[in-house]
């Protein structure tokens, strides 16, 4: 098991390094800089600003200095908000995105798994058709369509829920963004669960359990569900990546003060350090969840860690 | 199949695997309907601009937010008085083109990378696939955004950026397929019969790769269309007055309370396109790989 973890970490390290390197040089290759304003700054002022943030040093020195900072957990100061460090900005915005993502994945799991299991138990029944419909909807109707439509229906027309805004994470403000984010994930999860469940129900050990006269509920919950859900565990990483991507759009549409909304703005403003900090955090999060998924998979399925 | 036709009068014509696959695809109603829908959508994208008397970028300040079926505007007009029918056809054309070209880019890179790794094997394979692993874990949408921000958004860059992201899965599929094909008896038989390496790859490996690759291509096209729309929605994709499904939906979402048609029609076109490609992909998979059923 330890060797398994070590091997996974061995991939994660280089990945993070590639992420930082690519992001660093791409950001610097972009025309313009953080101190470009409507009116041009006097050259002396700009020079001073650059010197203050070390931007006047050769690029490779800046790169190494940045790497050193990341290793120490220091993401540097923001270039656009002089009184704030990148860590401050992350601390301020990350909780919004995290709460949104966590609520969405929980909702997607609850809906997707129950729908998938029920659909597999009653194949071609009403719920199966419903699950198929949800799966199609989740694939064909992207978040940036569902979000405005739901706002139009529940926000503007019925006025049951607010059109957007965070309001300290109040429940009414959370409902629409979470539903929009969860929908595509729930669609995928229900399909995975349905396929896994159908396979599990036909497996030998389930037939044995039935033959021993176990009640149907015990057969399904104790014997079929576990192997049926194994593929879901490895979907954790991709799901997290999908949620992060979705949050870029959802935070923009619902005007939520999360990382996603900040990312695009910071990139456009050439706030190098903030963009870098966010990419490192995002990449770290995806890697961590991938690792977690692999670990859980190795725990429930011994074949994985032995191979 | 050409050698079959050339052989002297076969007594009973056998059923090839391809015949079987076509028969299975024909029996799949969802896939057939999707093919029809896709043909219509393509026709609309190609001919659509001619269906409307107005060019897609003609601004008319006196005809702002005209509802559908009025004043000759079949689908109404937008906030600048531009005809939605013409814009929708243009947007569909751009989105389909991006889908096709970017998928082609990913196809070329993915097949070359995967087949090389799979066929050479050993340390080369190990190294090449570790690179794919590392790239796989990157949060790619962020890099695409950075790319757009850094170099400005032009259509060519969108092709390259999205194509460069999508080739990873393709290379994994191709490599896996090549690896398992290499072990098969008929390859060994071909080698025993004295066929050269190149001939084996051309005659036996590549034809057997076509199935899974075709399936993945039809599933990549909608993914690419979605990715482009996503960028356009964030304001980083196709730039106005040019249109893509993403920019149309984005603009429609802003004006939806005044003009619902600006959101509904592009969204429907988008959903129909994505659904059609997905059903065709599923149908192809079922037709080409009956084991999965």
pLDDT tens readout for residues A74-94: 888 888 777 888 888 888 888
Q: Cβ contacts of residue A73 below 8 Å, gap of 6+?
A: none
The pLDDT score that the predictor gives to residue B11 is: 60
Mutate to test the interface with A, among B95, B133, B134, B139 (most CBs of A within 10 A): B139
- Shortest Cα distance from A52 to chain B (angstroms)? 24
Would the CB atoms of B143 and A26 count as touching at under 8 Å? yes
Inform me whether the C-beta atom of residue B44 falls under 8 Å from chain A C-beta atoms: no
- Could you read off the pLDDT of B132-159 as tens digits, one per residue? 877 777 777 777 788 777 777 677 777 7
Higher pLDDT, B60 or A200: A200
Would the CB atoms of B256 and A152 count as touching at under 8 Å? yes
- Nearest by CB to residue A279, choosing from B139, B150, B226, is B139
Distance (Å, whole) CA A135 – CA A120: 14
- Nearest by CB to residue B145, choosing from A136, A244, A264, is A264
The pLDDT score that the predictor gives to residue A305 is: 65
Evaluate if residue B220 carries a pLDDT over 60: yes
Evaluate if residue B7 carries a pLDDT over 70: no
Residue of B nearest to A143 (CA): B230
Distance (Å, whole) CA A295 – CA A304: 9
Residues 234-253 of B with CB under 8 A from A: 234-236, 246, 249-250, 252-253
Residue of B nearest to A157 (CA): B257
Task: State how far the alpha carbon of B79 is from the alpha carbons of B62, B86, B266, in Å.
Answer: 10, 14, 15
Token output for A223: 């014997």
Distance (Å, whole) CA B243 – CA B95: 9
The pLDDT score that the predictor gives to residue B8 is: 53
The pLDDT tens digits along chain A (307 residues) read 777 778 777 777 888 888 888 888 888 887 777 777 666 777 777 777 777 777 778 888 888 888 888 888 888 888 877 788 888 888 888 888 888 999 999 999 999 999 999 998 888 888 888 888 888 888 888 888 899 888 888 888 888 888 888 877 788 888 999 999 999 999 989 988 988 898 888 888 989 998 998 898 888 888 888 888 888 887 877 788 788 778 888 988 898 888 887 888 888 888 888 888 888 888 888 788 878 877 887 777 777 666 5
Distance (Å, whole) CA B288 – CA B246: 33
Would the CB atoms of A149 and B134 count as touching at under 8 Å? no
The pLDDT score that the predictor gives to residue B9 is: 53
**How does residue B293 score in pLDDT terms, banded at 50, 70 and 90?**
very low
Would the CB atoms of B146 and A275 count as touching at under 8 Å? yes
Please check whether residue B261 is in contact with residue B68, taking contact to mean a CB–CB distance below 8 angstroms.
yes
Distance (Å, whole) CA B232 – CA A253: 14
Bridge partner list, B83: B77
**Beta carbons within 10 angstroms of residue A169's beta carbon:** 13
Distance (Å, whole) CA A288 – CA B222: 29
First vs last Cα of chain A: how many Å apart?
11
Inform me whether the C-beta atom of residue A268 falls under 8 Å from chain B C-beta atoms: yes
Higher pLDDT, B165 or A305: B165
At residue A77, the 3 state secondary structure works out as strand
Instruction: For chain B, give the mean pLDDT.
Output: 83
Please check whether residue B134 is in contact with residue A11, taking contact to mean a CB–CB distance below 8 angstroms.
yes
Q: DSSP labels for B99-168?
A: HHHHHHHHHHHHHHHHHHHHHH-HHHHHHHHHHHHHHHTS-HHHHHHHHHHHH---HHHHHHHHHHHHHH
- Per CB-CB distance under 8 Å, the chain B contacts of A139 are 222, 274-275, 278
The pLDDT score that the predictor gives to residue B291 is: 56
Quote the pTM value. Answer: 0.82
Higher pLDDT, B79 or B5: B79
Please check whether residue B270 is in contact with residue B244, taking contact to mean a CB–CB distance below 8 angstroms.
no
Would the CB atoms of B256 and A19 count as touching at under 8 Å? no
Distance (Å, whole) CA B166 – CA B99: 11
- Shortest Cα distance from A30 to chain B (angstroms)? 4
- Nearest by CB to residue B137, choosing from A15, A136, A156, is A15
Evaluate if residue B233 carries a pLDDT over 80: yes
The pLDDT score that the predictor gives to residue B270 is: 93
Would the CB atoms of A19 and B275 count as touching at under 8 Å? no
Mean pLDDT of B218-247: 86
Inform me whether the C-beta atom of residue A142 falls under 8 Å from chain B C-beta atoms: yes
The pLDDT score that the predictor gives to residue A307 is: 55
Residue B228 CA to its chain's centroid (Å): 12
Mean pLDDT of B200-209: 82
Mutate to test the interface with A, among B134, B221, B229, B259 (most CBs of A within 10 A): B134
Please check whether residue A92 is in contact with residue A258, taking contact to mean a CB–CB distance below 8 angstroms.
no
What residue spans of B152-257 are helical by DSSP H?
Answer: 155-183, 185-192, 197-200, 206-233, 245-255
- DSSP class of residue B62 equals G
Higher pLDDT, B162 or B86: B86
Token output for B98: 């991006």
Residue of A nearest to B134 (CA): A15
Is ipTM over 0.85? Answer: no
Residues 82-141 of A with CB under 8 A from B: 136, 139-141
Would the CB atoms of A27 and B236 count as touching at under 8 Å? no
Would the CB atoms of B256 and A148 count as touching at under 8 Å? yes
The pLDDT score that the predictor gives to residue B1 is: 45
Q: What long-range pairs does A283-289 form, CB within 8 A, spacing at least 24?
A: A283/A15, A283/A16, A283/A19, A283/B137, A283/B138, A283/B139, A284/A16, A285/A240, A285/A244, A286/A237, A286/A240, A286/A241, A286/A244, A286/B137, A286/B139, A287/A12, A287/A15, A287/A16, A287/B137, A289/A236, A289/A237, A289/A240
**Residue B93: phi, psi to the nearest 5?**
-60, -50
At residue B83, the 3 state secondary structure works out as strand
Distance (Å, whole) CA A33 – CA A15: 27
Inform me whether the C-beta atom of residue B131 falls under 8 Å from chain A C-beta atoms: no
Evaluate if residue B119 carries a pLDDT over 60: yes
- Per CB-CB distance under 8 Å, the chain A contacts of B141 are 245, 248
Query: Above pLDDT 90, what percent of chain B?
Result: 15
Token output for A279: 């990419």
Q: Cβ contacts of residue B259 below 8 Å, gap of 6+?
A: B65, B67, B76, B78, B79, B252
Residues 144-173 of A with CB under 8 A from B: 144-145, 147-149, 152, 156
Please check whether residue A261 is in contact with residue A251, taking contact to mean a CB–CB distance below 8 angstroms.
yes
- Per CB-CB distance under 8 Å, the chain B contacts of A275 are 146
Higher pLDDT, B265 or B160: B265
Please check whether residue A75 is in contact with residue A273, taking contact to mean a CB–CB distance below 8 angstroms.
yes
Dihedral angle sign, alpha carbons of residues B229, B235, B239, B240 = positive
Q: Which has the closest alpha carbon to A279: A23, A7, A50?
A: A23
Inform me whether the C-beta atom of residue A183 falls under 8 Å from chain B C-beta atoms: no
At residue B77, the 3 state secondary structure works out as strand
- Nearest by CB to residue A249, choosing from B230, B267, B271, is B230
């Amino acid at each position: 098991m330890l060797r398994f973890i070590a091997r996974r970490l061995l991939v994660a390290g280089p990945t993070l390094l590639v992420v930082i390197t690519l992001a660093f040089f791409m950001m610097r290759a972009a025309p313009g800089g953080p101190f470009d304003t409507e009116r041009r700054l006097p050259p002396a002022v700009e020079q001073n600003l650059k010197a203050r943030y070390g931007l006047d040093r050769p690029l490779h020195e800046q790169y190494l200095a940045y790497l050193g900072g990341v290793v120490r957990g220091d993401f540097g100061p923001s270039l656009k908000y002089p009184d704030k460090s990148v860590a401050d900005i992350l601390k301020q915005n990350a909780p919004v995105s995290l709460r949104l993502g966590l609520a969405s994945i929980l909702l997607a799991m609850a809906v997707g798994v129950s729908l998938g299991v029920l659909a597999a138990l009653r194949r071609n029944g009403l719920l199966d058709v419903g699950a198929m419909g949800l799966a199609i909807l989740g694939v064909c109707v992207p978040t940036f369509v569902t979000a405005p439509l739901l706002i139009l229906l529940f926000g503007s027309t019925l006025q049951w829920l607010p059109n957007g805004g965070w309001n300290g994470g109040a429940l009414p403000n959370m409902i629409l963004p979470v539903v929009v984010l969860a929908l595509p994930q729930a669609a995928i999860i229900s399909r995975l669960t349905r396929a896994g469940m159908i396979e599990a129900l036909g497996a030998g050990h389930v037939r044995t359990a039935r033959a021993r006269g176990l009640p149907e509920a015990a057969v399904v919950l104790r014997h079929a569900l576990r192997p049926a859900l194994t593929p879901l565990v490895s979907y954790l990483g991709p799901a997290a990546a999908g949620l992060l991507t979705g949050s870029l759009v959802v935070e923009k549409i619902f005007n939520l003060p999360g990382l996603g909304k900040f990312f695009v703005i910071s990139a456009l403003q050439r706030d190098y350090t903030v963009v870098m900090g966010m990419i490192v955090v995002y990449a770290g999060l995806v890697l961590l969840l991938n690792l977690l998924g692999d670990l859980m998979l190795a725990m429930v399925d011994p074949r994985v860690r032995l191979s | 199949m050409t050698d079959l036709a050339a052989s002297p009068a076969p007594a009973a014509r056998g059923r090839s695997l391809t015949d079987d696959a076509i028969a299975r695809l024909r029996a799949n109603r969802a896939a057939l309907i999707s093919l029809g829908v896709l043909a219509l959508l393509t026709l609309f994208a190609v001919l659509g601009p001619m269906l409307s008397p107005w060019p897609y970028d003609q601004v008319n300040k006196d005809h702002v937010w005209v509802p559908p079926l009025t004043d000759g505007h079949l689908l109404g007009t937008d906030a600048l008085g531009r005809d939605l029918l013409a814009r929708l056809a243009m947007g569909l054309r751009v989105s389909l083109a991006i889908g096709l070209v970017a998928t082609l880019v990913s196809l070329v890179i993915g097949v070359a990378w995967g087949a090389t790794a799979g066929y050479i094997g050993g340390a080369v394979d190990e190294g090449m696939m570790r690179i794919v692993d590392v790239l796989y874990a990157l949060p790619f949408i962020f890099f695409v955004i950075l790319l757009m921000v850094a170099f400005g958004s032009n259509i060519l860059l969108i092709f390259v950026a999205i194509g460069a992201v999508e080739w990873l899965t393709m290379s994994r599929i191709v490599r896996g397929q090549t690896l398992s094909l290499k072990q098969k008896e008929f390859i060994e038989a071909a080698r025993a019969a004295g066929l050269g390496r190149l001939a084996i790859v051309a005659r036996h490996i590549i034809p057997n790769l076509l199935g899974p690759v075709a399936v993945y291509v039809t599933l990549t096209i909608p993914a690419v269309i979605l990715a482009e729309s996503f960028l356009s929605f964030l304001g980083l994709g196709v730039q106005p007055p040019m249109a893509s499904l993403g920019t149309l939906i984005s603009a429609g979402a802003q004006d939806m309370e005044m003009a619902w048609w600006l959101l509904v029609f592009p969204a429907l076109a988008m959903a129909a396109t994505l659904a059609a490609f997905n059903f065709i992909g599923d149908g192809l998979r079922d037709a080409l790989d009956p084991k999965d059923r």
